[in-house]
Each structure stands twice: as C-alpha cells, then as structure tokens.
Structure 1
Amino acid sequence: MKKNTRIWIMPVLILAVGATLLFLGCGGGSAGGEGASSSADGVISGTAVKGPVNGATVKAFAISNGMTGAQIGTGTTDAEGNFTVSIGAYSGPVMLQVSGGMYTDEATGASMTVQPGDVMTSMMPQVNVGAVMGGVQITPLTSMAQARAQSMSGGMTPANIAAANTAMGNYFSVGNILYTHPMNPLTPGSGSGVTQEMRNYGMVMAAMSQYANGIGMPISSGIVTAMMNDASDGVMNGMMDNAQIMMGGMGGMMGTGNNPLSSGAGTSGLASAMTTFMGSAMNRSGLTITDMQALHNRMSTSNGLIQ
C-alpha cells in the first residue's frame, strides 16, 4: 500500500515543479514585464477648415530630409471637417494634406467642391511613436506656412516647420495656427465666448473667400493655392520668388497665364475684403469691424514680410 502511494505522489510532484518552472519562465505572469512592448499606433486627429470641409481625403506623410516622404496614413473628414488618421509606429515630423471634399464658402454661402490641384496642408515638427495628437488644424494659414517651410533652406526640417508656423501666425495675429480652432463666422453668435485669436483666424479665412469673390474666382479653394504660392518666398507681394503669380485656371478662373495676383492681395487686399465681409449678411458672428480693428490695421499697413 505504501509503495502505491509513492507511485502517485511522484508524478504529482513532477507536474507541480514543471508548472512552477513554466510559470517563472513566462515572467511570473505579470503584465508588462521586462521586454514587453506596446503595439499601439500613433493617431492624429483634428479639423480641416475652409469652412468645414466634408468628405475630403486626409493623407499623412513622413517628412525625410526636409522633403515629403512616404505616405503613412489616410482618413476622411466628416460633415464638420473632423478627421482621424492612424500613422502606425512612425516617429518624426509629419505633413498632412487635404484634397477633395465640399465646403460652404463664407462670402457667398454656396456649397463648393475643392478643385483638383487645390490642396490644404499642415505640418507637425515631431510626432512620437504611439502618440495621440488631437486638435490639429488644416487650414489656409497652415497651408501657407507649409509652402513657406518647403521653400526655406533645408526644406521642411523640424526647425523650419516651427519657424514657418510661428511666422505665419504672427502675420495674421494667431499665436498657434496648428492648434487654435478658427471661429466660423457663418455660425450665429460665433464671435462670443472665443478668444481674439480664434476670431482673427476665422475672419482671415472669410476675407480670403471674400477676396476670391471680388476678383471673380468661381471656386474659392483656388485662392488658397494662390496664397500658398505668394507665401512661399516669405513675402506677400503677388510674387513667387521673382515671378508674378498668375491665377489663370485657379478656382475655375479662365485664361491660362492671365489674371495676375495683385501685389497687395495678401495685405491691404485682405483687409479690404474683411471689411466687405463683416458688413455683409453672411457675417453672422455678431462681430463688427471694430472688434477686428487691430488685425485690420495690421494688414492694411503690412509690408508683406512673413516673420
């Protein structure tokens, strides 16, 4: 009888020891032990605004050696212009690009389709692996900053990205063009309960639409392309480097090589357009030109330097 007892005890002991060794070999069963790694993807979310852009394609690109690199993610905007893009395990500077979609033009209230060849862009100097970045804006202002950084010595380096974003914000009196959400002047009462920078942001974009309307541009997305070209050399003067910017074909305008962009388009031209918009029925923000006087004066007297 004792012999049989020993026969049963030995296998049990062997199994117990084996299970213990297996348990210890797996790190004691604790989560996140030494050598554990996260597989969470990085995420960028925010809003595309030219008036909120609905149904647009948002692409995220790596930036390598100051130039646009591989596509690392894609998404689509909703009716409010909101988007979410997963970028995997990428780490480094990022450029976002918006194309297509529809928006409500501020100057006319008409629903417009973003024209082929017109894009909006935005740059982030650094995104870390697995980071969740929210509230990122893609607007005409971030697009102008991207065009500027791309033309700087070295291209879109993290330092140039930061400098261009800051300079473009200074130009339009918006402290942080990447994360400040623009006021929508088509929304009744939108000028109340928001910062002056949010007001400035929204009214500058409305002024661009009003300017496009004033020069007979059928689709105002074209003025974003024109302003990007103008900003690229660091001076708003209707020139891209030493060449006059021609708007033939932009925003549905007729005549290739015709319709030069005015030298004052990005300075006094926008100031005048802002005055026109604010006095129109399309301005539902509740703000008057008095509320925007500081920005209006700044643009009216600007020498066009982006710094």
Structure 2
Amino acid sequence: MPTHKQLQPLLLLSVPLLVVASFLAACSPNDSLNLPEERPSGVIQGNVVDGILVGSQVSIYGFESGMRGILLGTAVTNEQGGYAIELQVPDQLILIEISGGTYLEDASGSVITLADGQVLRAITKYTSGSSLDAMVTSLTHLAVGLAEYKVNNGVPVDQAILEANADINRFFAINTSTTTPLAITDENNTLSELNDPALYGFYLAGLSSWTLWASDQNDVPHSIYSSIALTQILYNDIRSDGVFNGVGYNREGTALMPLAFGRVALDENTFRIAFSLHMLAIANSDKNKTGLGIDTLLTPAQQIAAQTDALLGTSDPVSIDGQTPEITITQSADDYRSGLFRFEITIGGLLGAEHIRIFIDGDLATTLTDTTNTLAIIDTTDYADGEHEIRVTATDALGNEASNTFIVQFDNTAPVVNVNSPPASSLAMALLTGTYSDNVSGVQSITVQGQAATLFTDGTWNATVNLEPGENIIPISVVDQVGERLDTQTILHLDLIAPVITSADMHSLARFSNGDGSYSEAALQDINDTLPLYFETNAVDLNGVLIDRLELNNNAIPYFAFSIADEMGPDATT
C-alpha cells in the first residue's frame, strides 16, 4: 500500500528583514532607476458552494511542494457565498481552503454550520498579476482528494493537479473550477434552457437530496447527515485509492476499510445515483425554482448513471429507467363498500409520480395530477353490486410506471326482511318471526321494537315484542355489512276479545215437514231441531243464481246468514 500523505499545514516562520545601513549609504540616488519593478497584483475571486456558504473563512496558501505552504491571503464569504482576495505573489500553485460558515441544504432547508474539521478545498494555478475565477465546492474538494492520491503515488504535483481537475471536469462535463453554480432554489434564478451553471447547481442539489434520503434511512435530522458531511467521506474515499468505491482510510489513516454514511453503505453506485436520480428528484420537487423541467436534465442524468469512467473503478453502470414509483394504498379493513368509497394513495420513490390513474375492472375511472398524499373517492352506486378490481398506476417523469391492484365488493342494495308470523296475538309478549336476505355483503343485524333480533344461519329470525291491547305498530330495522339500512314496520294486534256473531232475522224461509207429506213455510232459526226440513229432491243446482240474499229469496233457495263483529282483531270490522 502506498504511503499515505495528508495535506499538512506548513510551519510559518517570521523572517525579519535586515536593513543594512552601510548598503543603503553606498547607493547613489541614480541607483533607484535600477531597482526591480513592483510585483503586479491580481485578484482571486469566486463562490463557495455546498449550499451557498455564508460567513466562511477563505484562506489561500502556496502549494508548490504539494503541501500547504505559506498563507497568502484571507477573506470571509458574503451573503452570496462570494469572496475576493488580492494577491501580489509570483506564479505558483495555490490551495484555497474554506472553513466555518453556514449554508442551507437545498433539499430540506436545514441550516448547516460547518463543524471543526469540515472543509472545502480547491487547487489551481495562479499567474502573477492576473485575475482568476476559482470556485470552491464539493466537486473541487473531491478533485483535491484525487490530486492527493496521485501525488502520493508518485505523480508530479503540477501534473497530479492538472489530471485531477481534468478527471472531475470530464466526469461531470463542466468546468468545476471556473463555473459558478446556480442556486436552483432561488426564485430569481429562472431559466429557459439548461446551461453549465444550472447543471452545476443541480449536481450539488442532488447531493443534498441524497443526504436527505440517507438521513431518513438513519432516522436522524438532515442537519446531522448533511451534504458537507458526505463530502468529507467522499474525499476520504477518492484520496485512498483514486476511485469512488466506498473504500477509504480508517480514522488513524493506517488501513483501508468499507465506508458508510451512518447505516447506509457507500459504493460506486452511491456516486452515480446521487448525481443522477437524486438530481432528477430535486429537479422534480417544489424546491426547484429554475422553471426547468426534469426532461431538460434527463440526458446528463443518464450520462452520469451510465458512467464507466476510471473514477468508478470496474463497476457496472446503473439504469435510472429501472427506478419506479412506490405506491402505498391506505384503506379501511372492511370487505364491502357502499356509497362513497375513499382510499388514500401515497407515492414514494425518488421521482414520485407525474400522474396517477385509477382503473375499475380495467376501465379508466379517473386521473389524478396532484400526486401528494392523494385521497381517491369512488361512488359505488355507479357500479353494479358485487366484486370489482381496482388498479392504481403511477407514472414518473421518465415514463416509468408502477401499479397496485386490490379487490373490493360493492354493495349498494339494502337488505330485505319479511314477517311470517300471524298479524294478531292473544299474548302481551308475542314472538315475531320472519326471514332476511342481502344480495352481497350479508345482514349484520335486525332490530325489532328497539331490541336486537336473533338471526339464524338459515335466513330466519325471531324477536319477542311487547304488545298493548289493540293495534301495535312494530318498527323493524335491518342493516347489512356495509351499513346499508332498511327501515320498515309491521302491525301486530293484541286481541283480548272474542268475535261476536249475530244472526237474528237474517236467515231465509224454509219448508218444514208436517209429517204427513205436507209442509209448512217458516223462517230458519239458528237451531232447527223441533221440525225436520222438507226436501223434495236430493239434487239442487243453483243454475246460475247469484249468491245474494235477494236473489236466493226470489228463487226460493233457503240459506243461513249471519254477521261477525271483531272489536280488537286485525279485521275489526262488522
């Protein structure tokens, strides 16, 4: 294993300037024309971005020997993360180092203050007297880590820095040193088309999105597992073996070990996914204020995901098309639905969903475009009773689709109840009986006169009711398993008085035998046991005569007649 070197602070020695009076005295006034010209000054300026870092200490050091050298100048970043430092030094490599300050995570808005030891760096070549744009970001920091690996493995310092910056720039297809990242969460930064500053901003925002996801996996706030914290680990990763593979030095710097972000293991695909899918995810969120859609970032995202660059070792690329939305359906545990059936759809996955479609029995029922914790409502009365298949599909901005299917029973028909017992009883506590049925879900309960009836599995029921003398209106309610309710009633009489039969002067005339072959006519009585009836024949045919007292009298056909009066029964008429 190669010897591991870290960028170490150079001991700064204060060397006093010796003023030799005799030397000055020996100089003539005309000698001033031969003094060297004053060295020209130049300005190094740029922006410091993880998110926009405000109040950070910017320190510029010499770096000619491949280690941090003499301090050349300092500044503090402003509200836009900008800095500017004037230098009056010869041509040389310089190290720009950032410490302290605060920024906002693009993905969550969490306020992050850089802890001790958390830094961002950039290395570049300064030409005396010139102005130089030099960004300091998470990506330039990774380039410094790669340069450190190259130097530790024998590559000359100038060449190592040149190669490291070129490698990182090639990987991301932008100049990470001179391009100013766009703050994609700033409402003032709307664009009509994608450019390098915007792409740079989206890459860094993707890193923030990945760390927010990792924070959720670790069940901790984003302020702990932040993007600046991940950048420090990725720096360790790249400087250890020159590739992003989830392997880095241990705390002592003596051995390699697997790296992790809390409980989330790191590997080559961490790098691919953070700068592809998570870049798309934040572009697809309400955090993105640029006005650029996910479609404008699809090509660079696919290029990152498909990278086989040496920076990722020998790993295989990933397909972002294989990432689909995640659908969670939340509904009550009831087996049957009636009326307005509600269920909640929650969409997960990195890119969420552009739209949700709901199919019932294969037919499109509705399309939802607001895909955040959506409440779906279906009117079951629009469909026949019985079993139905509901399929929910979610489609993301890349056209990837996922679906979730479940079966429900619709029951829109109220149950049926019948009363089979007689309409009258002579008992004050009577037993009411009947049958029940329901076409789908089944009967849940029957209530008779406010009391629960007993239900039997053969579809019959009974209930004891209390009766008052006379007519009693008995309310009956039946409810099925989905809450469909039928309210009805029956009438039951408590009959305590026997019917009265009246026959006085209602019977017809009849012939009574005198015993000698002759007869006499007289009115029939209720009891006719004193005189026998006189019969002239044993076969009588009405021959179409209407059974009516008048017609029977006109045709001399004898009959009995009576009236019945029932004062309390169900037929209480005379």
Higher relative contact order (CA 8 A, sep 6+): 1
User: Matches of 2:214 and 2:258 in 1, distance apart?
Assistant: 17
1:227 and 2:234 equivalent? Answer: yes
Equivalent position of 2:273 in the other structure: 268
Q: Partner letter of residue 144 of structure 1?
A: L
Matched, 1:238 2:246: yes
Which deviates the most, 205-214 or 112-121?
112-121
Identify the match of residue 142 of structure 2 among 119, 141, 144: 144
Tell me whether 1:283 sits opposite 2:291 in the alignment.
Answer: no
SS of 2:169's partner is helix
Assess, with a 3 A threshold, how the Cα gap between structure 1 residues 83 and 283 changes in structure 2: closer, same or farther.
same
* Counterpart-to-counterpart distance in 2, 1:97 and 1:226: 17
How do 1:37-116 residues align onto structure 2 when only pairs under 5 Å count?
37-116=37-116
Query: How many Å separate the matches in 1 of 2:50 and 2:155?
Result: 26
Rg larger for = 2
Could you say which structure has the higher strand fraction? 2
Take 1:106 and 1:156, find their aligned partners in 2: how far apart are those partners?
Answer: 38
Is the CA contact (8 Å cut-off) linking 1:56 and 1:98 kept in structure 2?
yes
- Identity percentage over the alignment? 22
Secondary structure of the structure 2 residue equivalent to 1:171: helix
**Could you tell me how far 1:65 is from its partner in structure 2?**
2.4
SS of residue paired to 1:115 = coil
Contact residue 42 and residue 86 of structure 1 kept, 8 A: yes
2:192 aligned with 1:178: no
SS of residue matched to 1:129 = coil
Matched position secondary structure for 1:265: helix
- Measure, in 1, the Cα distance between the counterparts of 2:210 and 2:100: 21
Question: Secondary structure, in 3 states, of the residue corresponding to 2:69?
Answer: strand
Q: Which amino acid aligns with 1:141?
A: L
Shift in alpha-carbon separation, 1:116–1:193, aligned structure 2, 3 A? farther
Counterpart contact for 2:214–2:261, Cα < 8 Å: no
Change (3 A) 1:286 1:141: same
Cα shift at 1:132: 3.0
Q: Name the residue aligned to 1:198.
A: 197
CA distance in 2, matches of 1:206, 1:86: 31
Change (3 A) 1:86 1:299: same
1:26 shift after superposition: 4.2
How much is the aligned-residue C-alpha RMSD, in angstroms? 2.6
Report the Cα offset of residue 49 of structure 1: 1.1
CA contact (8 A) 2:182 2:197 kept: yes
Counterpart-to-counterpart distance in 2, 1:213 and 1:100: 21
Is 1:62–1:95's contact at 8 Å kept on the other side of the alignment? yes
Residues 60, 87 of structure 1: 8 Å contact kept: no
Q: Tell me, what secondary structure is at the counterpart of 1:144?
A: helix
Contact 2:185 2:287 in 1 (8 A): yes
Aligned-pair distance for 1:25? 5.5
Contact 1:182–1:198 under 8 Å retained in 2: yes
Letter in 2 for 1:209: S
Matches of 2:200 and 2:287, distance apart in 1? 17
Task: Give distance in 2, aligned partners of 1:150 and 1:184.
Answer: 29
| Cα 1:280/1:143, change in 2 over 3 Å | same
| Partner AA of 2:305 in structure 1 | S
Matched residue count: 268
| 8 A contact 2:41–2:128 mirrored in 1 | yes
Higher helix share: 1
Q: 2:45 and 2:267 mapped to 1: Cα distance?
A: 36
8 Å contact kept, 1:63–1:156: no
SS at match of 2:68: strand
Q: TM-score normalised to the size of structure 1?
A: 0.78
Does the residue aligned with 2:52 lie in a helix, a strand or coil? coil
Q: Which residue of 2 aligns with 1:14?
A: none
Deviation per residue, 1:31-50 (Å, 9 max, x gap): x9553411444432111111
Cα 1:189–1:162 shift into 2, 3 Å: same
Relative distance call for 1:304 and 1:191 in structure 2 (3 A) is farther
Deviation at 1:156, TM superposition (A): 7.1
SS at match of 1:228: helix
Q: 3-state DSSP class of the match of 2:271? A: coil
SS at match of 1:306: helix
Distance 1:171 1:119, change over 3 A: same
Helix, strand or coil: the match of 2:208?
helix
Contact 2:149 2:238 in 1 (8 A): no
- Residue deviations 1:203-259 (CA, integer Å, cap 9, x gap): 1100000001000043331121122223333322222375312335xxxxxxxxx65
Q: CA deviation at 1:160?
A: 1.4
Give, in angstroms, the shift of residue 291 of structure 1.
0.7
Are the structure 2 counterparts of residues 261 and 296 from structure 1 closer, same or farther at C-alpha, using a change threshold of 3 Å?
same
Q: Is the 8 A contact 2:184 2:202 kept in 1?
A: yes
| Residues 50 and 139, structure 1, Cα contact 8 Å, conserved in 2 | yes
Give me the whole-angstrom Cα distance separating, in 2, the residues matched to 1:123 and 1:73: 15
